[in-house]
């Protein structure tokens, strides 16, 4: 039986959402296959690592004092000995060798490529996108820059760091003034609509070039991140999303249209109202009711975006459609779609069990092809280096 570690939690604003993703459906489905020895690996908000099979049950995390319970447990260490081992240090270390890792972390230190870098160093196959694309996709500005350079339509945007904002206020104001209202202000690294504000332009003082609403929105975004994006809002908006799996050969799920009633999804809408993507599927239309033409274009753009960024395993591409002009903009790419979008895959005949099984196979395939690359290069430069020149 293969040992599989599902890694979740972590030092991220999306820590709690990650716990839900890890359990529903990842751990549940992996266990249901009967083919895996599933190890839940939980990273606390402080960055401590724990592994205990009791954490395979969601009920463990429903205990209000679960953090205190864990603090009494032994933290694990990781050992990289041509693969990954979980180690419970003690008089005689207890060890478990891990065959495949299934990252289930949203946000910083997990979905942003950090964990993937660690797993690459450990030489262990892992599910989902690799390090570079995870890092790019985690930054909404980088994503738009890469896609724009490759001819994928994204909304006009301006990005800046806090330092830029303080020191180049005038230059930035000029750039932002070129954008058409309504505007969206976003911290570039966060998800789940945290820190995002729609700026209507109602409070603008055209004569003075000031907009208190915009200034306030930027301040809110800088509260969460040191890099901020201001972009044009898409009007007559239809949002659709497309989950994709695969390495070289891609399989597309159905184009899905979320039916949010509020102006835009906020955190509460997504996760706490019971209708969000992590919970159930009542809130969306699958397939999206946007007609064959737009559906085909979205599928094509989805493939192009996935390939352009270098995704592998699984990702979800989100689109903003201007429904009168029928312009399609790629909004963002999620390298760990909440709940893996199992509700959508099911409509294409792929069960949760089928999905996780396929993702593990894709992880192993990518690993094998990476290992087959030559990573060494023999040369004689070391022998030719001259003697020490220190004086």
* Minimum gap (Å) between residue 372 Cβ and ligand ADP: 36
The residue (of 320 and 340) whose beta carbon lies closer to ligand ADP is: 320
Please answer whether residues 187 and 228 qualify as being in contact, where contact means their C-beta atoms are separated by less than 8 angstroms. yes
Question: Which position among 277, 283, 332, 335 is part of the footprint of ligand ADP (CB under 6 A)?
Answer: 332
Please answer whether residues 7 and 124 qualify as being in contact, where contact means their C-beta atoms are separated by less than 8 angstroms. no
The residue nearest ligand ADP at its CB is 264
Question: Which position among 60, 159, 265, 271 is part of the footprint of ligand ADP (CB under 6 A)?
Answer: 265
Distance between CA atoms of 302 and 321, rounded to whole angstroms?
A: 13
Question: Which position among 18, 29, 134, 192 is part of the footprint of ligand ADP (CB under 6 A)?
Answer: 192
Question: Binding to ligand ADP by residue 193, rule CB under 6 A?
Answer: yes
Chain positions 75 to 94 lying near ligand ADP, rule: CB under 6 A, are none
Q: At what angle do helices 291-309 and 131-138 cross, to 10 degrees?
A: 120
Question: Which position among 320, 350, 356, 360 is part of the footprint of ligand ADP (CB under 6 A)?
Answer: 320
Here's the x/- map for ligand ADP, 29-58, by CB under 6 A: it reads as ------------------------------
Distance between CA atoms of 83 and 98, rounded to whole angstroms?
A: 7
Question: Binding to ligand ADP by residue 233, rule CB under 6 A?
Answer: yes
| Cα–Cα nearest to 139, from 118, 119, 114 | 114
- Dihedral angle sign, alpha carbons of residues 235, 241, 246, 250: negative
Six token digits for residue 332: 């963002």
Question: Which position among 101, 155, 230, 294 is part of the footprint of ligand ADP (CB under 6 A)?
Answer: 155
| Cα–Cα nearest to 241, from 132, 334, 113, 324 | 334
Q: State the residues that interact with ligand ADP by CB under 6 A.
A: 155, 184, 186, 191-193, 196, 231, 233-234, 237, 239, 264-265, 318, 320, 331-332
């Amino acid at each position: 039986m293969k040992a599989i570690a599902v890694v979740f939690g972590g030092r991220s604003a999306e820590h709690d959402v990650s716990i839900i993703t890890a359990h529903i459906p990842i751990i549940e489905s992996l266990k249901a296959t009967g083919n895996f020895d599933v190890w839940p690996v939980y990273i606390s908000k402080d960055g401590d690592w724990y592994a205990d099979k009791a954490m395979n049950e969601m009920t463990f995390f429903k205990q209000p004092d679960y953090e205190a319970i864990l603090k009494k447990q032994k933290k694990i260490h990781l050992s990289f000995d041509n693969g990954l081992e979980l180690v419970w240090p003690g008089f005689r270390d207890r060890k478990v060798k891990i065959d495949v890792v299934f990252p289930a972390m949203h946000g910083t230190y997990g979905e942003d490529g950090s964990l993937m870098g660690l797993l690459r160093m450990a030489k262990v196959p892992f599910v989902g996108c690799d390090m570079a694309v995870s890092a790019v996709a985690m930054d909404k500005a980088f994503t738009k820059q890469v896609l724009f350079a490759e001819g994928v339509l994204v909304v006009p945007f301006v990005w800046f760091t806090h330092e830029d904002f303080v020191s180049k206020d005038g230059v930035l104001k000029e750039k932002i003034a070129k954008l058409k209202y309504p505007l969206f202000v976003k911290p570039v690294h966060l998800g789940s609509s945290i820190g995002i504000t729609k700026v209507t332009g109602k409070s603008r003082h055209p004569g003075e070039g000031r907009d208190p609403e915009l200034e306030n929105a930027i301040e809110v975004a800088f509260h969460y991140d040191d890099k901020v994006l201001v972009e044009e809002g898409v009007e007559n908006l239809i949002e659709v999303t497309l989950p994709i799996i695969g390495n070289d050969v891609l399989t597309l799920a159905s184009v899905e249209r979320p039916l949010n009633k509020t102006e835009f999804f906020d955190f509460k809408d997504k996760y706490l109202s019971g209708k969000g993507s992590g919970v159930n599927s009542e809130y969306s239309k699958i397939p999206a009711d946007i007609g064959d033409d737009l559906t085909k274009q979205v599928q094509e753009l989805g493939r192009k975006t996935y390939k352009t960024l270098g995704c592998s395993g699984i990702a979800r591409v989100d689109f903003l459609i201007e429904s009168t002009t029928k312009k399609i903009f790629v909004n963002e790419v999620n390298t760990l779609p909440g709940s893996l979008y199992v509700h959508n895959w099911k409509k294409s005949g792929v069960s949760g069990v089928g999905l996780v099984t396929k993702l593990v196979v894709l992880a192993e395939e990518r690993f094998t092809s990476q290992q087959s690359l030559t990573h060494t290069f023999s040369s004689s430069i070391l022998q030719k280096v001259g003697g020490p020149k220190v004086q």
